[in-house]
Amino acid sequence: MFDRRLLTHFDWVLLLTVMTVAGIGILNLYSATSIWTGSGPPIYLKQTYWLGIGLTIALGVSSVDYRHLEYCGFFLYGLTLCLLLAVLLVGKTSMGATRWLDLGLFNLQPSEIMKIVIIITLARYFSQKGNVRGYSLRQLFVPFALLGVPAVLIMKQPDLGTAMMVIFIGGTLSLFAGLRRTTLAVLAVLGSSAAGGGWFLLRPYQKQRILTFLNPEHDPLGAGYHIIQSKIAVGSGGFWGSGFMQGTQSQLSFLPERHTDFAFSVFAEEWGFTGSLILLGLYLFLIIWGIYIARRASDMFGMMLALGVTAMIFWHIVVNLGMVIGLLPVVGVPLPLFSYGGTSMVTTMIGTGLLLNISMRRFMF
């Protein structure tokens, strides 16, 4: 049933913002990888292809009423959980982690799908079990179980970054659904003690990252190298930056992963504080706009869905930038729309599609 209102209410602001950020990202990748001499198409071109694919997916996702998702939410959840289990059993191992299912044509990363699916699942749960007085600890058992099982499975891969993202997204949604004061207090105590206990569950390299974060100069050539070099890159950018394709840090390849997780360092070096402010402004606008969409959603499910997607994008931005500028330990989390990578692009664009979807159906019941 095509409704003309869908077009009139199409959220051009959101789409334009997303495309602008992605465009800046591609420009930045062009600079970051300009000196590479590899075979195959250059990175920035590949990222452009991914953006095209992502855009198609986003428009596809936005065209089917999101309310259908409410009914198949748990089915999707079960399916993705099975995929996560399959990864642990028959997954493809690369660089010490088993994250992918080899589907022949491409490698599927179920933990990425889980980011979206957990949003749908919890949105459905919280929207159906509306609770004016706030959730008690016991009432939270089900959503926490829904959240905990995939998080543990992802942690086992091990993929700390994604597991953390899933927990952050779920946490944000739970918090927003409303907690009782006592619940909040208990959770805070539990959380901090769990953080202490969790230390012993971390793998050595993960501990190393956290230690390094606390004192990067301690190991300047090993694990601290990334952080130090990234900080030098960002800092040396100064107010105006060194100019497009002129960043010595990035161009001289001291920066590791400069096309993926550390893409922002390149940008900050070449465009300086001004450029960084503009980019951050765009990201902030995107997040606030996401919240705005949630605020205006036509139903509870749509609201929670929009909030979840916004939370996902938000946490990626904050954790990535926090890492790049030395506020947080090095965790492999990409900067949405900016870091090179098809997986991240597709996940972000599915989220964008959902936001568009909710936004343009805000007057429809």
Partner 1 sequence: MSLNGGWEDNPGLKKRFLLLSLAVVLIFLLLVLRLWYLQIISADRYRELSEKNRIRYIPVAAPRGPIYDRNGEILVDNRPSFIISVLRQEVEDKDALLARLAEILGEDPAELEKRWQSGSRFPRYRPFPLAEDVSRESLEVIQENSVNLPGVLTEVRPLRSYPHGELGAHLFGYLGEITQKELQSKQFSSDYRPGDFVGKRGLEKLLERYLRGIEGERLLEVDVKGQELRILKTQEPQPGNKVFLTIDRKLQAAAEAAFGEEAGAAVVMDVKTGAVLALTSRPAFDPALFARGISGKEWIDLLQNPRHPLQDKTIQGQYPPGSTFKMVTALAALKAGAAYPSTTVDCGGALSHGNRKFRCWKRGGHGRVDLKRALKESCDVWFYKVSLDLGIDRIAAMARALGLGIPLGFPLEGEKTGLVPDRQWKQQRHGTRWYDGETVIASIGQGYVLTTPLQLAVMTAGIANDGIVPRPQVISRIEDLAGNILEEMQPEILNDAQLNPSDLQVVKRGMEAVVNEPGGTAYKSRLDEIRIAGKTGTSQVVKLKDDHAPKREIAYRFRDHALFVGYAPAQAPEIAVAVLLEHGGSGGSNAAPVAQKIFASYFDVPIPVHAPPSSPMPEPSPLSPESFPPTSTDAVNSPPGGEGGPAQPGAASAMTGTAPLIEPSTPAPHPPSSPPVADDRSLPPGGEEIVPEAEGD
Interface with partner 1 (CB under 8 A): 35-37, 39, 67, 70, 127, 130, 132, 134, 176, 178, 221, 229, 231-239, 248-249, 251-254, 268, 272-273, 276-277, 280, 283-284, 287-288, 291, 294-295, 297-301, 303, 307, 314, 318, 321-322, 325-327, 365
The DSSP code for 221 is: T
Concatenating the DSSP letter of every residue in 43-101 gives HHHHHHHHHHHHHHHHHHHHHS-THHHHHHHHHHHHHHHHHHHHHHHHPEEETTEEEEE
Nearer to partner 1, 144 or 176 (CB): 176
Nearer to partner 1, 40 or 196 (CB): 40
Q: How far is the CB of 35 from partner 1 (least distance, A)?
A: 4
Q: How far is the CB of 127 from partner 1 (least distance, A)?
A: 6
Nearer to partner 1, 114 or 358 (CB): 358
Residue 330 three-state SS = coil
Residue 291 three-state SS = helix
Q: How far is the CB of 276 from partner 1 (least distance, A)?
A: 5
Terminal Cα distance for the chain, rounded:
13
CA 194 – CA 203 distance, rounded (Å): 16
Check whether the bond before 329 is cis (ω within 30° of 0).
no
CB-based contact 269:279 (threshold 8 Å)? no
Per-residue burial over 287-318, b if 16 or more Cβ lie within 10 Å, else e, is bebbebbbeebebbbbbbbbbbbbbbbbbbbb
Q: How far is the CB of 194 from partner 1 (least distance, A)?
A: 22
The DSSP code for 337 is: T
Q: How far is the CB of 347 from partner 1 (least distance, A)?
A: 20
CB-based contact 238:272 (threshold 8 Å)? yes
Q: How far is the CB of 176 from partner 1 (least distance, A)?
A: 6
